[in-house]
Chains A and B, each alone.
Chain A
Amino acid sequence: MSLNRAVKPFPKEEISFSLPEIENFCLSNGLRVLHVKKDTLPIININLVFYAGSKYDPSGRKGLANLFGMVADEGAGIYDTLALSDELDTLGTSLNINRDSDSIYYSLQTLTEHYAKSLDLFCDVLLSPRFEDAAFEREKRKILTRILQIKDAPDELADIAFERIIYGDDNPYSHPVFGYADTVQQINNAEVKDFYKNFIFPSNGFLVCVGNITADHLKKSFEDKLNTWTIEGTNNFTLVNSKETAPKIYLLHKEGTVQSEIRCGHLTCKRNEMDYFPKSILNMILGGQFSSRINLNLREDKGYTYGALSRFNYHKDAAHFYVSTSVGAENTANALIEIDKEINKIKDGISGEELKFAKSSMIRKFPSNFETLRQISVNLIGKVVYGLKNDYFNTYIDSILKVTKEDVNKAAADNIFPENIKYVITGDKNIIRPQLKNIMFADVVEINSDGEVIEG
C-alpha cells in the first residue's frame, strides 16, 4: 500500500447546509412568536422569554427575579406543587423556569404525543400561579441555604466578586442573579406577586418554538389558551454606567485551598455593536478555545492549570471581557504574569495563520450550531434579545469571511485595555500574598465573600 500518513487529508468539496426556516408571527394578544419546524424526532421545545431578569431587581431586594422564578411553578390552577410535578412526570415532560440577568424563561420540552396536555400545564403555570405563602417561605429558605453554600465554592465566589467589582455596585448587572443573603431576607410574597403583574405580560416577551409541530397548529393552540391574557405591566429599567477605577488585585482569602481561582478583565461594548465578528475572532485566538494562546501557554506549555479561557460576556445592555482559570496555589503569581503577557501581546497583532484558523473553525462549525432543538432555540432567543438583524444567520458566514487582519487588530485596540484590568483571586492568602510581592503591576486589597473590600 502506498498510503502516505504524513499527508493530512483535506476535503476537495465543501458541504451544503441549509438553515432551518424561521417563521415569525404575532398572536392576537401581541405576543411575538418565532417558530422552526423540525420533524426528525417527535419532540417539541418551547421557550417563553420575558424581559424580567435580575437586572430589574429593586435596590435592597437583589434576588427578587430569581425568587419569583423559583416560586412561580410551585403550584398552579388546580394543582399544588407536588401534584403539578407529578402531572409533568407522568407525561415525561420537563417544565422549568430559568433565570438570568436579563430574562426569565418558561421552558417546556415534551413529546409530540403529549403536547396538548403539556401545553395545558404550561399555561396553568403561566396564567394561574398560586403564589402561596407557604411555598414562598419554603423557596426563600431554599435559596438562602444555597447562598450560604456558595461560601464553600471558590469558583463561584470568584465569579460573583469579579462581576461586582467590574460593574460596580450601582450597576444592575453587578449582583448575582440569586442576590445576597441580606437582600433576599427582605423580600416578601407580596413583592413576588407584584413582580408577576409588572413583568409577565405578552408585550414584554416573546415565544420561541422548535420541533415537531406546524406553525398553524402552534398558533391555534396558543391562541386558544392565551386569548384572555392581555394584562399590561410596566417594567422600568435604567442602566447606570459603571465608573472606571484603578486596577487592583482583589484577594478573597480561603484558608487551606490548594488552587487559586483567577478572574480578570474589564467592561467592554455591547453585543449588537459593529465589531462583533472581529471580536469573536480575536477571542478565539486569545482564549476562546483549546488551541488559543492563553490555554496553550498556561496548560500545554507551563502546566499551571487544567484549563484557561477568555471570553466576551454579553448581557443585553452591557458586556465585559475576562480571563478565567484555576491554578495550583504555588503558581498564582506566575499565572497572573502569563495572563498579563498574553493580554498585552494580543495588542501587537495576530498572524495570518491565526486568522485563517479562527475563520475556518467558526465557519465550518456553523451547521453544528443547529443540531438539537435546544441549540436552535438558544440561537433564536439570542437573535431577539440582542436585537440582531433579520438576515443575521443567512449572512453569518459572509460576516466572518470578510473580517481582515486589520479588523481584528482594530478590535483588540478598541476593546482590550491592559491598563484597566481588575484581578480577582480566591485562594489562600498565606500562599498567595508572598508571591504577589514580586509582581508590582497592581495594589492588593482583600475582599469578603460578597466581593466587598474589607481592607485597603
Chain B
Amino acid sequence: MPILDLQYEKYKLSNGLQVILHKDNAVPLVSVNLWYHVGSADEQRGKTGLAHLFEHMMFQGSQNVPKEMHFKYIQEAGGVLNGSTNFDRTNYYEKVPSNFLELALWLESDRMGYFLPALTLEKLNNQKDVVKNERLERYDNQPYGLAWEILISNIYPDVHPYNWATIGSINDIENYSLEDVSTFFNLFYSPSNATLVVAGDFEEAKAREMIDKYFGSIKSTNSVSHPSVKPFNIKKEIFIERKENVQLDRIYFAWNSDKAFGADDAALDVLSDILAGSKGSRLYKKIVHELEIAQDISVFQYSGKLAGHLMVVATAKPGNDLDKIKKEIIYELDILRINGATEKELTKTKNSIRSGFIYSLQNLDSLADQLNFYNFYLDEPNSFSNDLKRYDVVTNEHIKTVAEKYLTAPFVELRITPNQ
C-alpha cells in the first residue's frame, strides 16, 4: 500500500547524532521527535526511577533556557510537547507550526549539550516531589494500581533489567543526589546515543542546515553500553494473593514470551486479539458475554528490546469467584492451542490491525514517534509495510505453535481481592 511507504532521509552528524527527515506537507506543522537510547532497563537495583526522574529534569531548563521556559516557548508558538520513558528508551517531542522548527531544534539542542550548567538542587528537590506525586496518583492511589509492578518483578528475575517499574520506588527517588543526575547525563545523553526525527512541513536543505547549526557542535561523550540478557523463563508457577481496598476480585496471569519484533511477537499479538480483542473474541464472548462471570477481560503481548511477556487480566462480576474464571481462561487457551483459530478469526484480526495502522497515520506526532520506533528496533524507519506484513503472514499453525511454546510454561498468577 503506497500510503504505508514513507520516504525519508537518514544521516549522521560527525558527533554521532542520527537524523531522520520525513516530509509531509498536508498541514503546516512540523514534529521534532528525539529518542535517547536509555530507559529504566539501564538502571541498577537500588537506583530505580532515575531514567524517568531525569526526563523530568530535562524540562527544568538548560544554560540558555530558564526553568519553566522550555514549555512556555513551545506553547507560545502554539505547539504541544512532552516526553516519556519506558524500559528501553526516553523520548521528547514538540509539534509546532512549521515556521517554528528552528525554535524546537534550539530547545532540544540546548538541553542535549548544555543541561548541566543549569542543574540545581532546588530543581531536583522540586521534581522529586512532583515524581513522587506522579507515582502516588498513577500507581499507589489507583485501584489495582500496583499490579504491573508486582507482575514484572516476578515474571522477570531479580537480575533482569525489566524487573522494576519505570516510575521507580519512592525510596530510590528520595535518595537521588545532584551527582547521580549529572553522572546519568554524562553516561547516556550523548548525541551518539540519540536519534532525531523531523517530520512534517519543512524545506530539507534548511532543516539540514539548522540541525547542523544547533546540534553539530555538541560533543559526544563515551559510547554507551546497554545491558544484555539471556532469554529467561520462570521455572515454576508463582502464586501471589493480595488484599486491597477494592470492590471486585481481579486475576492476572503472566507468561514469559517473545521480545519486540522477535519471530513470535506478531503471532502473540494476533493470538491476544483472537482471545480478547473484541466482543466476538473467544474469552470475551465466553466469560463476559455468555457466562457473565467477568466484568472485563484483556489479553496483551508486552514486548521490549530485551524480553516480552503475555498478560491476561480479568475482573470478576460480583459474587463470582476467581477459580471459575481461571478454569474458563485455561480451558479456552487449551482449545486455541489444540485446534487453532478459524480462518474468519484470522481475517478479522488482520483487518482490524490493518485499519488501525492507517488510522494512526493521521497524527504527525505519532507518525514521527513511529519512525523513531522502527529505527530503534529495526534500524529502518520506513517499516510500516513490513510491520503490517508480519501480521499478514501469521498462520493458524503459527498461532498453535506460540500457544504451545509459551502458554504451557509456568506462569505468574496474581489475585487482588477486597480486604473486607
Indicate whether A and B interact. Answer: yes
The residues of A with any CB-CB pair to B shorter than 8 Å are 1, 3, 5-6, 8-11, 13-17, 40-43, 81-83, 85-86, 89-93, 109-111, 138, 141-142, 145-146, 148-149, 151-154, 254-259, 289-291, 296, 299-306, 326-328, 357, 360-368, 370-374
**Among the listed B28, B247, B363, which residue makes an inter-chain contact with A152, where contact means beta carbons less than 8 Å apart?**
B247
Q: Is the interface of B mostly helix, strand, loop or mixed?
A: helix
Residues of chain A contacted by B140 (CB below 8 angstroms): 258-259
Q: Determine which of B136, B352, B353, B361 lies in contact with A258 in the assembled complex, contact meaning CB atoms within 8 Å.
A: B136
B245 touches A13 (CB 8 A): no
- Identify which of B126, B214, B285 contacts A301 (C-beta below 8 A): B126
What are the 10 A-B residue pairs with the smallest beta carbon separation, nearest first?
A: A364-B78, A303-B129, A92-B355, A152-B143, A365-B78, A85-B279, A11-B99, A306-B134, A9-B102, A372-B362
Partner of A3 from B63, B217, B295 at Cβ < 8 Å: B217
Would you give the shortest CB distance from B84 to chain A, in whole angstroms?
Answer: 14
Residues of B within 8 A of A372 (CB): 362-363
A residues less than 8 Å from B72 (CB atoms): 291, 357
Tell whether, in the assembled complex, residue B295 and residue A149 are in contact, meaning their CB atoms are under 8 Å apart.
yes
CB distance from A248 to the nearest CB of B (A): 24
Q: Does B364 contact A (CB under 8 A)?
A: yes
Contact yes or no, B248 A149, CB < 8 A: yes
Bound-complex Cα distance A82 to B279 (A): 6
Contacts of B67 in A (CB 8 A): 300
Question: Is there contact, CB below 8 Å, between A111 and B358?
Answer: yes
Report, as a range, how many residues of chain B touch the other chain: 35 or more
When distances are taken between beta carbons in the complex, the residues of chain B under 8 Å from A303 are 125-130, 133
Q: Mark B55-97, 1 if CB is under 8 A from A, else 0.
A: 0000000011001100111011111100000000000000101
Answer whether A86 and B348 are a contact pair too, CB < 8 Å, given A142-B295, A372-B363.
Answer: yes
> Contact check: which of B136, B245, B292 meets A328 at CB < 8 Å?
B136
Query: Taking the nearest CB of chain B, how far is it from the CB of A293, in angstroms?
Result: 12
Answer yes or no: B27 CB below 8 A from chain A CBs.
yes
A158 CB, nearest partner CB in chain B, Å: 12
The answer to whether B347 has its CB under 8 Å from any CB of chain A is: yes
Cβ A40 vs Cβ B26 within 8 A? yes
Contact assessment for A42 and B358 in the assembled complex, using a CB-CB cutoff below 8 Å: yes
A148 adjacent to B248 (CB under 8 Å):
yes
Q: Are the CB atoms of B362 and A43 closer together than 8 Å?
A: yes
B window 370-384: CB within 8 A of A: none
Answer yes or no: B20 CB below 8 A from chain A CBs.
no
**B29 CB–A CB distance under 8 Å:** yes
A256-B245 CB under 8 A given contacts A91-B351, A111-B355, A306-B134: yes
Residue of A with least CB distance to B107: A8
**Contact between A145 and B76, CB atoms less than 8 A apart:** no
State whether A151 touches B247 (Cβ < 8 A).
yes
Interface 1/0s, chain B 103-134, versus A by CB < 8 A? 10010001000100000000001111111111
Whether A9 touches B103, Cβ cut-off 8 Å, given contacts A92-B351, A301-B126, A368-B95, is: yes
Bound form: Cα–Cα A290–B73 in Å: 12
User: Are A306's CB and B95's CB within 8 A?
Assistant: no
Contact between chains at B292 and A306 (CB < 8 Å): no
B348 A145 Cβ-Cβ under 8 A: no
Q: Mark B218-229, 1 if CB is under 8 A from A, else 0.
A: 000000000000
Residues from chain B with Cβ under 8 Å of A142 in the complex: 295
CB <8 Å contact, A149 and B358: no
Contact status A138-B27, CB under 8 Å: no
Q: 1/0 per residue B127-156: CB within 8 Å of A? A: 111111110111011110000000000000
- B395 interface residue per 8 A CB criterion: no
A3 contacts B213, C-beta separation under 8 Å:
yes
Q: Which one of B97, B130, B359 lies within 8 Å of A364 (CB-CB)? A: B97
Partner of B245, one of A10, A152, A367: A152
* Contact code string B354-368 (vs A, CB < 8 Å = 1, else 0): 111011011110000
| Distance of A371 Cα from B79 Cα, bound (Å) | 13
B63 proximity list for chain A (CB < 8 A): 5
> Do residues A370 and B133 form an inter-chain contact, with CB atoms below 8 A?
no
Interface residues in B214-245 (C-beta closer than 8 Å to A):
214, 217, 245
